[in-house]
Amino acid sequence: MAVRKDEVGRIDLRQVRAALPAAADRLLDDFERHLRLERGLSAHTVRAYVGDMISLLGFLHRDHGADDDREALAGLDVASLRAWLADQRGGGAGRTTLARRSASARTFTAWARRQGAIGADPGARLVSPRTHRTLPAVLRHDETGEVLRAAGAGAAELDPEALRDHAVLELLYATGVRVSELCSLDVDDVDFGSRVVRVFGKGGKERVVPFGVPAGHALRSWLDSGRPAMAARPGKGGSSALFLGVRGGRLDPRAVRRVVHDAVGSVPGAADIGPHGLRHTAATHLLEGGADLRSVQELLGHATLATTQLYTHVTVERLKAIHDRAHPRAR
């Protein structure tokens, strides 16, 4: 059967899944529940992993079609996994995409082994392709200061949205939290006495992150003078969310991205960054200020130190650039 593609040449996964045997479809449903309920992964990650496994099972089913539960994963071994990834690469998938699909496959095969759907775990022998890790764009200290001063000047007018935007920017930079984590915060998650905020990160993991005095002042102004006015607007009232949208409901990540882009765009020469860029900026400035990697890892909620180590490359590159400009014998 020819597989339909969309307007940009991507495989129609719904059509692929519809052609799978019932046993494979049931496995996909069980795998999705495992990711969502047991692993606590985000909806975006669950969709990506399940889509990858639809692609894999569709690839396998072309050569090993079967309908009963024992044979639903017929032909699944390390050679077939490598052949599937090679097929993906031939279709134009980049290194980052291939790395994620390798991770999806390893997660799936480990789970299938525990469920008894396969006798051995072929994904344990699968090596991910190395990704090209690019240095993230960050703001300089002076640029960050300009962004926050401008936001503070707007908040001084006591407009509810300006108060909120100032608090959002200050908290993003102070804590380095992800935009999804910021939008998930409730009022009760903020402890002004200890100047910490309770954050629920990837996989539902909880961590406590400190914030400084400027962020504390911005949050207090927002809660005292901005949030009550926005909460009273017609719409989704009664929300426990720390940050509210224009209609009184929980602030959406897309709105936060607009806030950050608009604020950073007002500073001439500043890199075009969004909320994740402020996260990168906070991590880089912490390391430049003398913070150790383990502490930054804990603050950012990184699962592994390897992710945090990316920021050391950022600081080294910036030091090299300064050296090239300033040292008389740099060139």
Average of pLDDT values for 195-211? 86
By annotation, the residues acting in catalysis are 178, 202, 276, 279, 302, 311
CA distances from 218 to 44, 135, 242, 273 (A): 31, 30, 13, 22
Same-domain status, 181 and 280: yes
Residues 89 and 154 placed together within one structural domain of the fold: no
172-195 pLDDT per residue, tens: 999 999 999 999 999 999 999 999
Portion of the chain with pLDDT greater than 90, in percent: 45
Beta bridge partners, 244, equal 250
Statement to judge: residues 94 and 162 lie in one domain: no
Task: Tell me how far the alpha carbon of residue 199 is from its chain's centroid.
Answer: 14
| Domain limit, last residue, from 125, 154, 172 | 125
| Predicted pLDDT at 305 | 65
Asked if 59 contacts 87 with a C-beta cutoff of 8 angstroms, the reply is yes
Q: Tell whether 118 and 153 lie within a shared domain.
A: no
The total of structural domains in the chain comes to 2
Residue 147 lies in a domain: yes
H or E stretch at 314: helix 305-326
Q: Does residue 254 form part of some domain? A: yes
pTM of structure? 0.64
Please say which residue of 125, 156, 177 terminates a domain.
Answer: 125
Same domain, 147 and 291: yes
CATH number of the domain at 34, please.
1.10.150.130
Residues 214 and 116 in one domain: no
Task: Give me the percent of the chain exceeding a pLDDT of 70.
Answer: 81
CATH number at residue 201: 1.10.443.10
pLDDT tens column, 212-235: 999 999 999 999 999 999 988 766
| Structure tokens given for 155 | 């908040």
Q: Which of 47, 24, 20 is nearest to 118 (CA)?
A: 24
Q: Tell me how far the alpha carbon of residue 197 is from its chain's centroid.
A: 19
In a shared domain, residues 317 and 271: yes
Query: How many C-beta atoms surround the C-beta of residue 260 within 10 A?
Result: 23
